[in-house]
Amino acid sequence: MFSPQRAPRVLAVIPARWASSRFPGKPLVEIAGKIMIQRVWEQASRAACVDAVVIATDDARIEQACHARGMPVVMTRDDHPTGTDRLAEVAQQQEADIYLNVQGDEPLINPDTIDAVAQCLLDALPRGIGLATAYMDGASQAQKASPSTVHLVPSMDGCVITFSRLPVPLDFQASFDHKVHVGLYAFTRDALMEFVALERGPVERAESIEPLRFIERGKRIACVKVPGGSVGVDHPEDVTRVEALLKRHGLA
Whether 1 has a pLDDT exceeding 70, the answer reads no
What string of DSSP letters covers 36-91?
HHHHHHHHHHT-TT-SEEEEEES-HHHHHHHHHTT--EEE--S--SSHHHHHHHHH
pLDDT at residue 22 in the model: 72
205: pLDDT strictly greater than 80: yes
**Residue 34, CA distances (Å) to 37, 49, 191, 244, 247 in order:** 8, 25, 34, 14, 13
Mean pLDDT of 96-119: 94
Q: How many CA atoms lie within 13 A of 114 on its CB side?
A: 31
Task: Return the ∠ at Cα 180 (arms to 252 and 127), rounded to 5°.
Answer: 115
Q: Is the per-residue pLDDT at 142 higher than 90?
A: no
Contact between 27 and 18 under an 8 Å Cβ cutoff? The reply is yes
pLDDT at 196: 95
Q: Which CATH superfamily is domain 10-248 in?
A: Spore Coat Polysaccharide Biosynthesis Protein SpsA; Chain A (3.90.550.10)
What type of residue is 89?
E
Which of the listed ranges 25-39, 116-130, 141-155, 235-249 does the model predict with the highest average pLDDT?
116-130
- Residue pair 57/104 in contact by the 8 Å Cβ criterion: no
Q: Is the pTM of this model over 0.85?
A: yes
* CA–CA separation, 37 and 108 (whole Å): 11
2 pLDDT above the threshold of 60: no
pLDDT tens digit sequence for 73-85: 999 998 888 889 9
33 conformational bin, left if phi > 0, alpha if psi -120 to 50, beta if neither: left
C-beta of residue 175 within 8 angstroms of C-beta of residue 138: no
Task: Kindly indicate the confidence band of residue 17, based on its pLDDT and cuts at 50, 70 and 90.
Answer: confident
Q: Which pLDDT score is estimated for 139?
A: 67
